[in-house]
Structure 1
Amino acid sequence: MNTSVILLLLADTILVIHFLFVLFVVLSLVVIFLGGALKWQWVSNKTFRILHLIAIGVVVLQAWLGMICPLTVWEMALREQAGAATYAGSFVQHWLQYLLYYTAPDWIFIALYTGFGALVLLSWYLVPVRTKKHGR
């Protein structure tokens, strides 16, 4: 296997990880609200909720600081090193790119990410996090 093929496989792997990260952030909030309404106790798991809050917190912070996601930077760098045009490649890469990357003014992304982050914070009050009691 030549170097450019390996680099493109690594870029595709990063793209899949990026997509899974987005799914985690978005679907977790849906599941938290749904689980709260249906009394699913696991959605109040402290570790899960902290990881979810950190994930969206990083996204919101990057948006406010005008940073590009490191996953995007790494993926593009690998594609460039492989000599490939960005997002002209495998089937998986093509469709994940279509779902993840779109063009709009920066303020729209900042507003969307901040609003979503506010919903995640609101979920902590509407579906409280379970804390362990002393002695258990």
Structure 2
Amino acid sequence: MTTPWYDRVPAPDVMADVILLLHGFIVIFVMGGLLFTLIGGIRQWSWVRNPVFRLLQLAIVLVVVVQSLRGRYCPLTYWEVDLRRAAGQSAYDSSFIEFWVSNLIYYDAPAWVFTLGYSIFFFVVVLSWWLYPPRFRS
């Protein structure tokens, strides 16, 4: 039998914190990106029409919505949990990074609330594509 991937990671507690921090930055990128896209579209900022930026944002939100509709969490959440278990941490054990980032992005609510919120957010991202489409160079 092979050893699970997370049991082979050096310093799994540190890697779990890195994943949690990355997760927080992704949330900021997606939410802030949409805010800046809407403001930038109104103010005619050219960088908000960058296709790489917009495609990355759309892909991330699409993954979150699909996972939510399937009743699953973001893959980063599963990786972090696996690493915390490999580090021998319990649910109440937390580092500085985990405590602060978790309090910013995780809330206690029924799953349908998150699915609805993710779906509405996805709709607004798609709407931003229609209102302020990215400019692909020819």
Structure-2-length-normalised TM-score: 0.88
Mean Cα deviation higher: 61-70 or 5-14: 5-14
Quote the offset at 1:86 in angstroms. Answer: 2.6
Contact 1:46–1:131 (8 Å) recurs in 2:
yes
> Where does residue 31 of structure 1 map in the other structure?
36
| Paired AA for residue 17 in structure 2 | D
Separation of aligned partners in 2, 1:5 and 1:100: 26
Aligned partner of 1:109 among 111, 114, 120: 114
2:69 maps to what in 1?
Answer: 64
Report the TM-score when normalising by structure 1.
0.90
Q: Per-residue CA shift, 1:26-84, capped at 9, x if unaligned?
A: 00000001111111001011111111111100111011011121111111111111111
Match of 2:4 in 1: none
Distance 1:95 1:5, change over 3 A: farther
Structure 1 residue aligned with 2:126, among 121, 130, 136? 121
Aligned-residue identity in percent: 41
- 1:95 aligned onto 2:100: yes
Unaligned runs of 5+ in 2: 1-7
Aligned length: 131
RMSD: 1.7
Q: Deviations 1:101-130 (Å, cap 9, x if unpaired)?
A: 222111111110000000000001111211
Question: What stretches of structure 1 of length at least 5 have no aligned partner?
Answer: none
